[in-house]
Structure 1
Amino acid sequence: MPETWPHLNPHQTRGHEPTPYELKLARTLEDIFTNDGHELTDVLAGLNSRQLHTPTGEPWTEESFRAEMHRLGA
C-alpha cells in the first residue's frame, strides 16, 4: 500500500465555489435524505416544508427540481 494517496478533488467538475444558495440546498437535501426519505416526492415535500424554494422563489415541483439539478450538474 502506498504511504501517500494521490490528491483527490471531490468537486472536479465544479467551475466555481458554491454559492450560499447552493450550499444551503446541499445541506437541506442531506437533511431530507437523512430524515425524510429518498423518493422524489419526499425531497419535494421536504424542500417545500422547510421553505427552501426555487431560485425564483416558487415552491418546488418535479419539473423545477429536475431542471435545477440539471443546471447544477447533479
Structure 2
Amino acid sequence: MRTPDLYNDTHQTRSAPPTAFESLLGDAIERAYAQGIHDLDGLVAYLNRSGPSAPNGQDWTPENYQELMARLGA
C-alpha cells in the first residue's frame, strides 16, 4: 500500500485563524510582490502608501515591520 504524499497545509501550523489585520496585511504584501516589490524598503514604502497602517496607527519602518513579522512567525 502506497503512503500518501505528506504536505503541510498553510493554516495547519496556526494556533488560531488570522485576525482581520493579519489578513489585510497579507493581502497588501501579496499585492506588493505582484507588482515586483521584493526588497524591505520598497515593501515598507508600499505599505505606507496603500495600508494597512502599522500597529497603533504608526507608519511602517523596516524595524517595526521586521519585529511584527518575527512576532507573527513565532
The question of a shared fold, defined as TM-score above 0.5 by the shorter chain, is answered with: yes
Q: Given residue 28 of structure 2, which amino acid in structure 1 is its aligned partner?
A: T
1:4-24 per-position Cα deviation (integer Å, ceiling 9, x unaligned): 655642223211000110001
Where do 5+ consecutive residues of structure 2 fail to align?
none
Structure having greater relative contact order (Cα 8 Å, sep ≥ 6): 2
Please state which structure has a larger fraction of its residues in helix.
2
Kindly report the root-mean-square deviation, in angstroms, between the aligned alpha carbons of the 2 structures: 2.0
Query: Is the 2:28–2:51 contact (alpha carbons within 8 Å) kept by the matching residues of 1?
Result: no
Q: Secondary structure at the match of 1:56?
A: helix
Q: After TM superposition, where is structure 1 displaced by more than 6 Å over at least 4 residues in a row?
A: none
Please state if 1:60 is matched with 2:52: no
Q: How far off is 1:51 after superposition? A: 3.0
Q: What percentage of residue pairs aligned between the two structures are identical? A: 33
TM-score, normalization by structure 2: 0.83
Q: Distance in 1 between matches of 2:40 and 2:24?
A: 18
**Alignment TM-score, normalising by the size of structure 1:** 0.83
Q: Residue 70 in 1 paired to residue 67 in 2? A: no
